[in-house]
Structure 1
Amino acid sequence: MEKVVLGGYFGFENLGDDAILLSEVSFLKENGFEPIVLTNKGKSIFGVKGISRTSIKDILRIRNEFSTFILGGGGLFQDKTSFRSLLYYLFLIDFMKRLKKKVVIFNVGVGPLIRKISIKLLFSTLKKVDLVIFRDRFSFDFFPELKNKFLGFDSAFSLNFERKETKKKILVSLRYFKDLNLKKFSKFINILREKILMILNLLFSQRKRK
């Protein structure tokens, strides 16, 4: 069974990135591949072997076990929250190419990029990879000159869950930012909840009539 190494923001107990990883691991296994994941502190996850995402030594130890490196998905190519994070992913791509591995960027988003050097470095690095699949139209159009690129989707959307009609709930995922007004946001959520419940009631009633 051919082994493939996966890289991303994995092993940090982030719901969105865990969903992305689960979908990609499932896809690879279903198609006859054995994934190895670069994770925080080398933790195994979803029954898949993990190695430390920051240990060059660990990666070199398995360099002869795989031929392809897949980076993604998620919003990895941004420098607003951390410029170091972007540099890490760019280094990882370059490092894998130096090891003569095929590199696939899989369902990754671009932005926000607030530094000109970030845009320049990202474009220069992406030109080296074998295949780029962006998760959204904005990211796809960000570098018009880039070749070998395709428009994909958010990997988490490919997860197959058993659908059940349960109580009507809204899931709100918050990210802190300095201008957040909690009182106004709370009011917005209450209005949103009322509107969504009205829409859900209409949809469910129409379904029952059919």
Structure 2
Amino acid sequence: MRVVLCGYYGQGNAGDEALLVTLLQMLPDNVTPVVLSANCEETQQQYGVETCSRTSIWDLWRTLASADGFIWGGGSLIQDVTSWRSPLYYFALMALAQRMGKITLAWGQGIGPLNAALTRRLARSLFRGCTAVSVRDRQGAQLLTDWNIPHILAPDPVWALDPLPVEGLDRLPHPRIAVVLRPHPQLTADRLQTLTQALIELQQRTQSYLLLLPFQPKSDLDIAQRLHQALPKVSEIWIGDKGTHGWRDTPSESLPNRPEQYKSIFSQVEMAIAMRLHGLIMAAGVACPCFALSYDPKVTQLMEQFNLPGWELDQLPENPSQISQTWIEFYQHRQPLTPAQLEGIRSQTMEHQQLLHRYLSPNCKKDS
């Protein structure tokens, strides 16, 4: 069975790549995946899969026509906050797959926000036309419930991502703290300066070594470099299979870390401070104590669901010492998720896999 996997793949975002890897890990053995990618060569090299350019109309048509199934592969694909064009792209492909009579699965979705009436109508119609749907949070589940669309609710699939060992961490000093920041309008220059000063105080009080992890280098690297410049001898930017105290002029010389490697990195630090949703999920998933900085409802929902400490960015204290003292107290009394909690989360997450096997295994039912 050939199945097209559609998501924000090949864009260099570790969170979306983690969703792709988890999806590949969960697919039944009889499935041959075809990944729609913005960087087909890199996706092929990283994962050994067949690919199709996500922007070539002819290739997309031909690939869908020759496939048995189509999957929206996790993440916040269906939202119109960052761009109104983005959901229309995913809508168009799902509509085409449904019109062709393919098995269509919306898998591990984080739905919304959907502010425009048009995107809400299209989303409702296309989710209703799917063979099956799974969502990752209560907000998406409530929306589908309101629309009377059957669905499965389970934790984000990345909770089940298998870690991949990474070389070189053993040379770094202990203790270690991982930091995952990303640009966002709420992370103003003043707030970034406040966080930087708070990190300096945290490092001095704990004598820790900071691992700066740009999850999407083309957007996150500038912030990581600024933090490294403020902490030049006690921090390191980690990307491209090895850490670097500075950064090469041509970061494309090597492939970025596999997403599974980030999960392994989090297993070897004492604490993580993260904005990105999948940074928090990967860290919490290996029992790393996490402190969240929320810029988005999906991060806030994660904090509430798993009782993770943190701040909304627009409510960040203005005093760096207040922030650093909160971090220091958390560092001293940190409590990760327990093995029993993690086992329960992973067990629930496997419902996403059960959906895939139910509809894509050799004797699957093909009725919607």
TM tier, shorter chain? 0.7 to 0.9
Query: SS of the residue aligned with 2:178?
Result: coil
**Cα distance per residue 1:161-199 (max 9 Å; x no partner):** 269997442332324115633244443763453233112
Q: How does 1:147-158 map to 2 (within 5 A)?
A: 147-158=149-160
Report the counterpart of residue 4 of structure 1 in structure 2: 3
Q: How does 1:55-70 map to 2 (within 5 A)?
A: 55-63=56-64, 65-70=66-71
Q: 1:55 to 1:192 in 2, by over 3 A?
A: farther
Question: Is residue 51–residue 59 contact of structure 1 (8 Å, CA) maintained in 2?
Answer: yes
Report the counterpart of residue 83 of structure 1 in structure 2: 84
Q: 1:63 to 1:124 in 2, by over 3 A?
A: closer
> In structure 2, which of residues 32, 40, 43 is the aligned counterpart of residue 42 of structure 1?
40
Aligned equivalents of 1:41, 1:116: Cα separation in 2: 33
Residue segments in structure 2 that go unaligned for 5+ positions in a row: 197-319, 337-368
Following superposition, the deviation at residue 61 of structure 1 comes to: 2.6
**Cα distance per residue 1:81-117 (max 9 Å; x no partner):** 1000011111111011122111100001012222222
Calculate the aligned-residue CA RMSD, in Å: 2.6
Q: 1:193 to 1:31 in 2, by over 3 A?
A: farther
Question: Is residue 170–residue 193 contact of structure 1 (8 Å, CA) maintained in 2?
Answer: no
What's the TM-score once normalised by structure 2's chain length? 0.49
Counting matched residue pairs gives 200
Residue segments in structure 1 that go unaligned for 5+ positions in a row: 204-210
Report the counterpart of residue 169 of structure 1 in structure 2: 177
Higher helix residue share: 2
**Identical positions, percent:** 29
Query: SS of the residue aligned with 1:169?
Result: strand
Report the counterpart of residue 22 of structure 2 in structure 1: 23
Q: 1:61 to 1:139 in 2, by over 3 A?
A: same
Following superposition, the deviation at residue 42 of structure 1 comes to: 3.4
Report the counterpart of residue 53 of structure 1 in structure 2: 54
Query: SS of the residue aligned with 2:133?
Result: strand
Query: SS of the residue aligned with 1:127?
Result: helix
Query: SS of the residue aligned with 2:114?
Result: coil
Amino acid at match of 1:96: A
Greater shift in the superposed pair: 130-139 or 188-197: 188-197
Aligned equivalents of 1:128, 1:176: Cα separation in 2: 34
Greater shift in the superposed pair: 69-78 or 184-193: 184-193
Greater shift in the superposed pair: 60-69 or 50-59: 60-69
Aligned equivalents of 2:53, 2:62: Cα separation in 1: 12
What's the TM-score once normalised by structure 1's chain length? 0.83
Report the counterpart of residue 182 of structure 1 in structure 2: 192
Query: SS of the residue aligned with 2:110?
Result: strand
Aligned equivalents of 2:126, 2:152: Cα separation in 1: 17
